[in-house]
Each structure stands twice: as structure tokens, then as C-alpha cells.
Amino acid sequence: MMRSIVVVLLLASIGRAQGPIDPKISLERLKEIVREARNKHKVPALAAAVVTSKGIHAMTWLGVRKNGATVEVTADDRWHLGSDTKAFTATLLAVLAEQGKIDMNATLPSVLPKLGATISADYKEITLSQVLRHRSGLPKDLANWWVIPTTGRLHDQRLQAIRRGLAMKPVAKPGMAYSYSNMNYVIAGAVAEEAGGAAWEDLIARHVLQPLGITSYGFGPPGKLGKMDQPLAHDKKGLPAEPTLKNDNPPVMGPSARLHLSLKDWAKFAQDQLKGARGEGKLLKPEGYKRLHSVEPGETYTPGGWITETSPGFLLLTHDGSNGGYYCSAALMPTLDIAVLVVCNQGPTAGESACRQAMVETIKATLTGK
């Protein structure tokens, strides 16, 4: 796992840290890291950023929007975040909770009243907090998300998907064990819709993206069909895919894995998460960020959409995302006031390997200057 690799690196690179440090990586070193990772894994394009609570410390991008073409990626290009969307959705839920519109300890029948009577006994006592922490026991995915019609209100589509999910047998005892599930964050999105009176897409823009000055956001594959105006997705063979509905996760999965934006704008979100850990965040009160970044005893997944590790001597939060055609990685170190973001327009395994190499080497250079 990326987290395990990063932890080993951190243990080797830095002692027990008690507070913020200045990033030691130079822009030239970051460019070198991205170039080496792209060349080794032969991905179309790769970009990375080192972020602090003050903003972007260093950022670079290299490569082409489409294999076989000459149009290069730019600083403003948009990248599909896949499951790194989850941290945005979790932050939205935290905002709504602070507004008194939802209760994190409420059970599913109370937060999704339209489904109350149809929720099986296995899931009736699951709370929203457990859903965000992947403790619901739900399977990772529906057998086929595309059986859900893509017409009509997105909220109704999500409720239909949730009905199917809650009819499935738990893969772990609900509330008692970790079981990663995209359905959990579809549920979270539907809960936000019930509380906020609008589609998740509108709510995430209104309460999270726009307040942070994020303007490049969209949902689904970035770009226009046939225009090559954004980085195209590439499959495991390196073959490009046009930005069509079927070349992505279905719209019903928006809250779990469908956000796209520029690396500069993703950095704004990471910056706010770091500022929030310092009591200076824009979206939430300090205790709100603390909850997003904290885990229950014996757990590793926070209600903020992050996987956590404390063995390096400080808090490390990580998460990867992919829709199969893009790959991205995030590492947040609130104690050190540093975040690293890496994006690629190819999915596993090449995109994953390129992001992993760039992430590990960037963190190493950021902490040690080497």
C-alpha cells in the first residue's frame, strides 16, 4: 500500500516531529522527480505539488494530454480525482453538521427517511459516522453500477443504488469492522442531498469548492469530446479514452469518485485542510477539522475520507484515487504543515506506479532536501 511505503520512508527520513517544518525540496528537484517517474513508467503525463498552509511551495507538470499527440499538459489542466473525491464529500458533511442540518450519530433510517422501511435489519443501526469511516459492512461496489438509470434526478438515482446496496449481505459485521465501500460515500452524498435540499454536485460547489476559490471543478471526465482540451484518460495499455459518460464512473457515484479539477485548485483544498489543523481553516471550526483528521481507537480510516498513520511520530493522512483512466495520490501531514499531491492521466498499473514513485521521492526530498 502507498501508506506503508510512505511510513517506511518517513521513519527513515525524519525523527519525531513536534511542529511545522519548512519544505526542503526545490522546484528543480521536484521537476527531476516527476521527469524520472514519468520516464520510468511511460505514462502520458504526470504532475505534482508540494503545499503548505501558506499555499503552493512548488508545483510542476510534464507530458502530453494524449499518447501519440504533441499537445502538452499545462498548469491549469484538470485531473480526475477518483476516490480522492471522498475527502471533499466528508468535508461537505462536516459543514452541514456544523450548520445543524445533520447529526453524525444519526442512524440510516433517520437520515434517509425515504428508505427507512426498506433498510434491512443488518443496516438499521448504522450511523452516518460509521458510513464515513467505512464501518457499515457494505460490499465495495454494486455488481454493476450501470444498472441504475442515468435519467431523472441524481438524488433519485442515488436512492435507487442505495436500495440495492442495502439489500446486499454485509461483508463484515456492520459497525464492527473496516470494509472499504464506494457505496458508503454514495450514501453520504444522498444524506447531504436530503439535508441540503439540492444535488450533491450543487452542494459541494456551494459549501466547499466555491468558498475556497476553486473554479476549475467539474464532474466526470474533464474536457470536451474530440477537442483534446484537457488530459485524456488512458487505460492500462496506454490507450486514450474520450471524455464520454461511459468512460468514467456513472453519475450516481459522484460523491464517492467523480470530481475533477486542476492541481492548483486541489492544492487550495489541501491548503485549507492544513490551515484547519492550525485553527485557521475557512470551511469549519477547528474542532471540525480535528474530527476529519482523527480516528476512533483501533481504526485507520477517518470520517474525513483519509487513511491515517501515526507511527512516524506525527499524523500522516493519505488517500489514492482512480477511475481506471487517471490516477492520483494525496498525502497530508498536518503536524508538519505539508501536503503532497500527485496526478496522472493513466490508470493502474502504470499510473499508480508513477504516482507512487513521485509521491515517495517528493516526500523524501521535502523532508530531507535530497
pLDDT digits 0-9 by tens, 313-334: 778 999 999 999 999 999 999 9
Tell me the average pLDDT across 258-268. 99
Is there a contact between 64 and 42 (Cβ–Cβ < 8 Å)?
A: no
Which H or E run contains 260?
strand 259-262
Residue owning grid cell 480516528: 295
What is the pLDDT averaged over residues 10-15? 58
The answer to whether residue 244 scores a pLDDT higher than 70 is yes
245 — phi, psi (to 5°)?
A: -55, -45
Confidence of residue 312 (pLDDT cuts 50, 70, 90): low
- Report whether 248 contacts 220 (CB < 8 A): yes
- Give whole-number Cα distances, 25 to 33, 58, 334, 340, in Å: 11, 8, 18, 11
Identify the burial level of 52 via C-beta atoms within 10 angstroms of its C-beta, where 0-12 means exposed, 13-18 middle and 19 or more buried: buried
Q: Which residues contact 267 (CB under 8 A, 6 or more apart)?
A: 49, 51, 55, 56, 59, 339, 341
pLDDT at 90 exceeding the cut of 70: yes
Q: Residue 7: its pLDDT value, please? A: 59
Q: What is the mean pLDDT of the chain?
A: 94
Does 362 sit behind a cis peptide bond, omega within 30 degrees of 0 on the bond before it? Answer: no
Q: Where do we find the cell 491548503?
A: 271
Q: How far is CA 69 from the centre of its chain?
A: 29
pLDDT for residue 2: 56
How large is the average pLDDT for residues 36-40? 99
Domains (range + CATH), the chain: 2-82+263-368 (3.40.710.10)
Q: How far is CA 247 from CA 60, 146, 243, 282, 325, in A?
A: 27, 12, 6, 35, 8
pLDDT score recorded for residue 1: 46
